[in-house]
Structure 1
């Protein structure tokens, strides 16, 4: 075998090895050096510490073991609060075929006015007093998505500006549709 043939054989061998090894090395570097963004598809924030309705002191059976969109009302339900109630209510309506599986829940600390109660259709909302320990576990003006087993999965912080309400409602809707579509429960 001539030197030229040996050189071509080595070059071909190195080329074949490079074709198989180079993608693995690049993939490893991409993962370790964070070259790629991780695909997050949820709009809300995932609740990392296990939190259930039972932890809040709420019985899930009185809520018919349904999917819940739970809104922890602030102490003073002002115009922003009323807009959030409207956004949550519109989200339930926009769920379409999934609507019978979902219930809106409002947790209140102080008695609501008749005007505020007018935003809460009693066929679609459960209005319950806020448990004493609720402020330790969840922030007020937060919308929580709860599965039929009572596990709190995602949270959405209510926006402070009216202009952000549309995107806020769309975020809750997208998360609820995704949860309902892929869920094996409820």
Structure 2
């Protein structure tokens, strides 16, 4: 074999190896050096410790094994709480054709006033007093997404100012639509 053919053959072999090895090396470096953000698709905070409706003192049978949009109201429902209540109600309505798969639940520490009930469509809500176990497990007002099996999956903490409420509602809606799209239960 001539020297030029041998060099050409070696060059071809090196190029072929480089085409296969360089992407693997770059991928490994990107993974180890954390060059990219890992894929987070949820908008809310994922519940890491197992939390179920039973641990909150609630029974899944009361909710017909549906997805739950569970809003835990603060001790005293002020104007911000009322705005959050309306935002959660509007988010539920924005679910559209998926509304029958989801049940709105409000856990209150005191009864809703008449003007608060007027702001939402109370017939769509399942309002109940917060059980003692829930008061221990849930320390702040939040919207919880609960699957039909009674597992609390995501938590969304309401914003402190009214300007952030549309973004808050959109985050809940995005999470719910994604969960309902991929879920075969409920």
Please list every run of at least 4 consecutive aligned residues from structure 1 whose deviation after the TM superposition is greater than 6 angstroms: none
Q: 1:121-173 CA deviation, whole Å, 9 max, x = no partner?
A: 33210111111122332232200011111111111000100000001011111
Over residues 90-110 of structure 1, what are the superposed CA-to-partner deviations in whole Å (9 max), with x where a residue is unaligned? 011111101111111111112
Query: 1:24-45 CA deviation, whole Å, 9 max, x = no partner?
Result: 1111111111111122221111
3-state secondary structure, aligned to 1:133: helix
Q: How big is the shift at 1:120? A: 4.1
Whole-Å Cα distance in 1 between the matches of residues 150 and 119 of structure 2?
25
Tell me how far 1:116 sits from its aligned partner: 2.0
**TM-score (normalizing by structure 2):** 0.94
Matched residue, 2:136: 136
Equivalent in the alignment of 2:76? 76
Sort the Cα spacing of 1:65 and 1:169 in 2 relative to 1 into closer, same or farther, 3 A: same
Instruction: Map 1:116-131; keep pairs closer than 5 Å.
Output: 116-131=116-131
Unaligned runs of at least 5 residues, structure 2: none
Q: CA RMSD in A?
A: 1.3
What is the rounded CA distance, in whole Å, between the counterparts of 1:98 and 1:66 in structure 2? 11
Tell me the TM-score normalised to structure 1 length: 0.94
Match of 2:100 in 1: 100
Tell me, what secondary structure is at the counterpart of 2:122?
Answer: coil
